[in-house]
Amino acid sequence: MEYLADANRYTSMQYRRCGRSGVKLPAISLGLWHNFGGVDTLENSRAMIRRAFDLGITHFDLANNYGPPAGSAEENFGRILKEDLAAYRDEMIISTKAGYYMWPGPYGDWGSKKYLVASLDQSLKRMGLEYVDIFYSHRPDPETPLEETMAALDLVVRQGKALYVGLSNYDANQTKQAVSILKQLGTPLLIHQPRYSILDRWIEDGLQTVLEDEGVGSIAFCPLAQGLLTSKYLTGIPDDSRAAKESSFLKESDITEATVNKVRELNVIAQQRGQSLAQMALAWVLRSGRVTSALIGASRVAQIEENVAALEQLSFNDDELSAIDQVLR
């Protein structure tokens, strides 16, 4: 059946200006890191992408290595885009990244101009696009001069292959240097994608200040700590969870009794707010406006619907914030 987007898709989603740019991002964005690859069911991926767009999620975040196998998330997204969403391309922000291993030899990893430009060319072919809206350097390369990596980002914008550029996993000092180089090149840094959640606050120690001072937006990945900040692990490790899968970054050993006890206490606070734990965790990340967008993952449509509903209550009172801090102290 032909897909027609919901006519009311923009009525309830919140859109936030990304730094000092002209771009606004939805407060909730959809990441295709897991559950959209070649090992997954295409029709489930299609249903999630369609529902996300119907809920006002206009930003879809990918990377060259998303799958598995690597590249397959981009291929599947490209197929769904062509078959269902081609008419809405100009209403969408599509991003991809390069920086992790993709092919053998010295040119298939890290941050050289050779790798980044070639990788973006491959990503565009997989998705069937002429350009992406945002292209990221996925991680800093300790052996490639930062000037070369930033020159590659500048080049792809000038070639028309990307409209904006971003960084991911760069620390505060690296980000500040990158911002300076990109300014000199004439391609300002649009956005930074760091890991950030109630359980992982490292960006508050310097990076957020750099981003605010430089007018750079931010989009938090793993705001639900790969599922830890949901009801999934409150009573054990489900067989279908990420922690149960050997290939997951979240390991069974990460789910200690001490961590689970903290999550249970956070869940009580969420219930008192009338939210699920996941909704409160997303609201917390978005609470002060310092984060432009929270990047969610999903394995089924209901999770997307639940997460978007977090936007109904983003404010916290002082007692709630103190209680959250006390749990983690």
> How do residues 277-287 score in pLDDT, each as one tens digit?
999 999 999 99
| Mean pLDDT calculated for residue range 310-328 | 97
User: Between 233 and 126, where is the model more confident?
Assistant: 126
User: Between 190 and 237, where is the model more confident?
Assistant: 190
Q: Is residue 48 in a domain?
A: yes
> How do residues 7-47 score in pLDDT, each as one tens digit?
999 999 999 999 999 999 999 999 999 999 999 999 999 99
Q: Is residue 239 in a domain?
A: no
Averaged pLDDT of the chain: 95
Q: Is residue 183 in a domain?
A: yes
Predicted local confidence at residue 236, as pLDDT: 65
Do 30 and 300 contact (CB within 8 A), yes or no? no
Q: Is residue 236 in a domain?
A: no
Whether residue 246 has pLDDT greater than 70: no
pTM of the model: 0.95
| Mean pLDDT calculated for residue range 131-148 | 98
| Mean pLDDT calculated for residue range 205-221 | 98
Rounded CA gap, 167 and 180, in Å? Answer: 13
Predicted local confidence at residue 280, as pLDDT: 98
The domain total for the chain is 1
Rounded CA gap, 52 and 267, in Å? Answer: 25
Rounded CA gap, 162 and 187, in Å? Answer: 11
Q: Is residue 39 in a domain?
A: yes
Predicted local confidence at residue 241, as pLDDT: 58
Do 315 and 287 contact (CB within 8 A), yes or no? yes
> How do residues 76-96 score in pLDDT, each as one tens digit?
999 999 999 999 999 999 999
Predicted local confidence at residue 234, as pLDDT: 85
Q: Is residue 278 in a domain?
A: no
Q: Is residue 84 in a domain?
A: yes
Expressed as residue numbers, the domain containing 68 is: 15-225+288-311
Predicted local confidence at residue 245, as pLDDT: 55
Whether residue 243 has pLDDT greater than 60: no
Q: Is residue 272 in a domain?
A: no
Alpha-carbon distances of 91 from 26, 57, 197, rounded to whole Å: 12, 10, 28
Q: What three-state secondary structure class fits 60?
A: strand
Q: What is the secondary structure of 101-167 as a DSSP string?
A: --SSSTTSSTT-HHHHHHHHHHHHHHHT-S-EEEEEE-S--TTS-HHHHHHHHHHHHHTTSEEEEEE
Predicted local confidence at residue 292, as pLDDT: 98
Q: Where are the beta strands (DSSP E) in the chain?
A: 15-17, 24-26, 28-31, 59-61, 93-98, 132-137, 162-168, 189-193, 217-221, 293-296
Rounded CA gap, 101 and 194, in Å? Answer: 19
Predicted local confidence at residue 240, as pLDDT: 59
Residue 48 is part of a domain; what is its CATH number? 3.20.20.100
Confidence of residue 248 (pLDDT cuts 50, 70, 90): low
